[in-house]
Amino acid sequence: MTAKGAYLVDFDGTITTIDISQEIATFFGGTEYAKIEQMYRNKEIPIRKWLQLTAEKLPPDPDKLLEKAMEWAEIRPGFEEFLSFARSKERPVVVASDGFGFYIEPILRHFDLFEQIDVIYKNNTFLNSKGFFEVNTPYAHRTCHVCGNCKASHVVWLKEEGKRVTYIGDGSNDRYGASWADHVCARDQLLNYCREYGFAHSQWSDFYDIIKVDLPEQYDRSKDSLCEPRGSGVKVLK
């Protein structure tokens, strides 16, 4: 029987060359946002709180935000070839994003990539009755306060399906999902975390590098993971 693999892929700074949520926040969020970002970097607030506080600082104009997101969107080299490769190996590609989410489908459709992705787990940003942006997090853990989108739970679910999971990401918040993966393709801040925690990983620069990575064995990560998506969530916030 052919070994079954799957890819869990972050969106911002991974599929796209820049983190579009971060760019939107920096461009539209003003000095108030700078304080929020500093709190996040100091680990005083988790990403879920970052999303909530930052969304309130954005101008209540969805068209304007989407226009900017589309203007900045650039797909990292090799992504289309990677999708074809994954399909040829019958490995599902699951995209999971903990950003604002509203631009993901329009960007993927613009580049004619949307139909080639198996599942997308993302947050939703909407204008509330008071005229402020709010972020809805349908894939959050029921009690854990750290992530808006519990990527670790998506990884665990794929593993329970018998898949060997390769996690592809770039950001610091990817460390929770990555801590459950059988192999991590890491760049930027995620690479630092992989080195610090000793996750099985390889460094990547573009999606041509991912194609070269062998399918890993499946490992029990329950002891070494940073969180328990089937339990009470984050183990230690570090």
Closest approach of Cβ 173 to Mg ion, in Å? 8
Closest approach of Cβ 25 to Mg ion, in Å? 13
Minimum CB distance to Mg ion smaller for 4 or for 21: 21
Q: How far is 206 from 213, CA to CA, in rounded Å?
A: 12
3-state secondary structure of 11: coil
Q: How far is 88 from 64, CA to CA, in rounded Å?
A: 38
Q: How far is 185 from 204, CA to CA, in rounded Å?
A: 6
Closest approach of Cβ 120 to Mg ion, in Å? 14
Closest approach of Cβ 20 to Mg ion, in Å? 10
Closest approach of Cβ 223 to Mg ion, in Å? 26
Could you tell me where the DSSP H helices lie in 42-181? 47-57, 62-72, 79-88, 104-110, 151-160, 175-178
Minimum CB distance to Mg ion smaller for 61 or for 196: 196
What is the distance, to the nearest Å, from the Cα of residue 23 to the centroid of all Cα atoms in its chain? 16
Minimum CB distance to Mg ion smaller for 57 or for 151: 151
Minimum CB distance to Mg ion smaller for 203 or for 218: 203
Q: How far is 21 from 24, CA to CA, in rounded Å?
A: 5
Binding site for Mg ion (CB under 5 A): 10, 12-13, 170-171
Least Cα distance to 146 among 97, 179, 199, 98 occurs for 98
Minimum CB distance to Mg ion smaller for 139 or for 219: 139
Minimum CB distance to Mg ion smaller for 14 or for 153: 14
Question: Burial of 215 by CB count in 10 Å (0-12 exposed, 13-18 middle, 19+ buried)?
Answer: middle
Which residue is associated with the tokens 């079954």? 4
Cβ contact 45:38 at 8 Å: no
